[in-house]
Amino acid sequence: MKIAVQVQPANGMPQEVEYRWDPDTEILSAQLLPPATGEGMSGSVGLEGSDGSWLILDVSAGRINGVEIAVWPDVRQMPSLQPPATVEDARVVVPSRRSQPEIASLESTTRLIAEADAAQRNFHFRVGKPRETRTVRLARDLLLDLDEKSQISGLWLLNVPPAPL
């Protein structure tokens, strides 16, 4: 599934990110604060990996306001996982689909790879086939990788608190 976004100039300081781990399911959610406003699609965009992992983008008024993630089996731990050195500050809009503007929820099975640094403080989710990307800041600790067609090809969660034991 290809999730195309529109990239616009940033307006103001990046939003804060509030992380929460569900202690029973180990599902990680990230909420942007304050919630963004705008025009465009409202609903959810769900991506499911072939291994049972999934990532849901909560979209409201065309803006990504939250992310929910579950990964099974465990996240692949990398000895070193550094976010990109070059990150553009931008405003990201998820437009309504012209062909189906009434649809508020999308789901797709795709290649989804989850990686984390050794401390599991930084996570990177790769969506689809590997390709050349640029990285934009969605919020202070939430980055999106976009390909040359401005389609989401990855997601970074930075400075994530430890999961409950």
DSSP, collapsed to helix, strand or coil, labels residue 10 as coil
pLDDT score recorded for residue 60: 87
The pTM of the full predicted model, rounded to 2 decimals, is 0.89
Q: How far apart are CA 152 and CA 92, in angstroms?
A: 11
* Omega of the bond leading into 79 within 30 degrees of 0 (cis): no
pLDDT score recorded for residue 4: 83
pLDDT score recorded for residue 97: 63
pLDDT score recorded for residue 98: 65
Domain boundaries, the chain: 6-157
pLDDT digits (tens, 9 = 90+) for 58-95: 988 888 999 999 876 678 888 889 999 999 999 888 87
Residue 65: both structure tokens together: 């306001």
* Regions of the chain with pLDDT less than 50: none
pLDDT score recorded for residue 121: 92
Contact 44, 37 (CB under 8 A): no
